[in-house]
Amino acid sequence: MNTRTWWSIGGIITALAGCGSVPPVVRYTPPAVAESAVRDPIRFDDPRHAEQVVLYAYGLLGTGYQFGGRNPEAGLDCSGMVSYIVEQVSGKRLPHNAARIAAQTRSVERDDLQPGDLVFFNTLNRPHSHMGIYLGEGKFIHAPNSRGAVRIERLASRYFSTRFDGGRTLQPEI
């Protein structure tokens, strides 16, 4: 065999060895949501925006789910629904990612949730992996998954009560 053949065989062996190796596991680390991390939180300019967010959300009931969806015509995912509604009501543009929205908003205790506040859940074994809009009376609206459409759930349901990750608000500080 000539030198060129050996180089070719060596290249093939190297490529095959690379394909057979197991890639390293990369763990997702959500952004910190500590209050000290929220230096300039996103907030409404008008306190009435929270009520308008709730009314707008009711209008999206039954809208189909679409992973990555950010508008009702194509379908919505959880953070897409929230960011779409907030932008339509207030002009504020939120990230299209639940954990990033949580990191850019102020915390509110569960007992202090008001209609229009945001609720977050750990549904994928990582904090703030799902979200919705609090409606009041222990209910919230969200875009659940590919098997469902925008709908209302109870915070006290067995599934969501064990996965509740916290509430956040867009209300201006008073």
Which residues are tagged catalytic? Answer: 78, 130, 142
- Return the number of other C-beta atoms located less than 10 Å from residue 137's C-beta: 8
CATH architecture group of domain 43-169: Alpha-Beta Complex (3.90)
pLDDT digits (tens, 9 = 90+) for 23-75: 333 333 444 444 445 678 999 999 999 999 999 999 999 999 999 999 999 99
Mean pLDDT, all residues of the chain: 84
Q: What is the DSSP string of the chain?
A: --HHHHHHHHHHHHHHHHHHSPPPP----PPP--GGG-SS----SSTTHHHHHHHHHHTTTTPBB-TT-EETTTEE-HHHHHHHHHHHHH-PPPPSSHHHHHHTSEEE-GGG--TT-EEEE--SSSTT-EEEEEEETTEEEE---TT-BSEEEETTSHHHHTTEEEEEE-PPP-
Mean pLDDT lowest among 9-23, 30-44, 89-103: 9-23
Structure tokens at 40: 């300039």
173 CB contacts (<8 Å, ≥6 apart)? 43, 106
Among candidate residues 42, 44, 76, 41, the one with its CA nearest the CA of residue 57: 76
Cα separation, 57 vs 54, in Å, equals 5
pLDDT digits (tens, 9 = 90+) for 74-89: 999 999 999 999 999 9
